[in-house]
Structure 1
Amino acid sequence: MPLSEIDVRLIRELRNSSVLQDVADDRLQQANGVILVVCGDGDEIPELLEFVKLRLNSQGLPARTHLIALNGGALRIPRNSPVNSWNEGEMVLQEIRDAMVLKGIRTVNIYAHAPCGKARVAGFSIIRVVEVLLDAGERIRREIRDCNVASFLHIDRGDRRTYYVSEKAWCAWHQNPVLTVPVT
């Protein structure tokens, strides 16, 4: 399922507003590995793991990842998320806690991708995907102490790109969004 033309234009606006940023390897604190919370979409996971491996290897680090995957991934974490229908968010948080203890990893990377079938069924626009993804990061930081959380959005549109999602830029943009297309 391709991205809608509206989502393509919104992605461009989020890039222009620095909400979606190129990934800077030095910002990723992954020396001891990373816990990845991702969508269980089997078409996306191999590319995501390769992306993380390349980022770690470029820093001279081994690709040490601990994967937590469900349909919708991190979009299930916020309590009020429409895709957290059976309180899966609690389970994901417990899996993160367990991984931190079992693996000694303190870095959590949460990923969403677009288009995502789970998000589409819930009626999410790309704006809603980013909003729920950042809410997920906020909940992780609030409920799990001593971890570093970074949010990423993978765009599957031919050229396939993964972007860092800047919470600071999102807050600034969200207070005064510059939209040239309607958002539902």
Structure 2
Amino acid sequence: MSLPMTETVTDPAETAPPTAERSYPRFAKPQRVAFVQSSWHRDVVAGCWESFVREIVERGIVASQVDLFEVPGSFEIPLHVQMLAKTRRYTAIVAAGLVVDDGLTGFVAQTVIQALMDVQLKTEVPVFSAVATPHSFERGSPNTEHFRQHFATKGADVAHACADTLLSLERLRGQVAAGIV
């Protein structure tokens, strides 16, 4: 069926009710986050940083309070995370990297994750991992775009986990200080 020339078609987006803005609880104190990213396969991992910053700002942390640090590879991430945690300058630290299967994948990935867990438990600075270990990865293969998308999604996910954890810890520390817990 064709419409007469005098009728107009209304774009559904123009008539739809406006979407509700997402509302998140605000922090009582300023937060500062370090983002430690491996530069190995930067073209794949970079989307994680970009989506992380976009989401963490939406969650109430000012972009100027998020610092990016690059390291050569994922194996180097834990030492940098530990040094940053010890400064007490950061309320949270995020690690992002791609561990590629070269016969050591299980060792490297397990070592990195365990070291990140050790850092957060020793320093009480929450550490979040966006370190991925695909079963197979070849640069330039059709699945490279899949991994780019994965890291972009992971960045948003880790931003939400980071903000939620910081809010939870802020409340818990307040309760501990007040003698409630």
Greater C-alpha Rg: 2
After TM superposition, the score normalised by the length of structure 2 is 0.49
Higher strand share: 1
After TM superposition, the score normalised by the length of structure 1 is 0.48
Higher helix share: 2
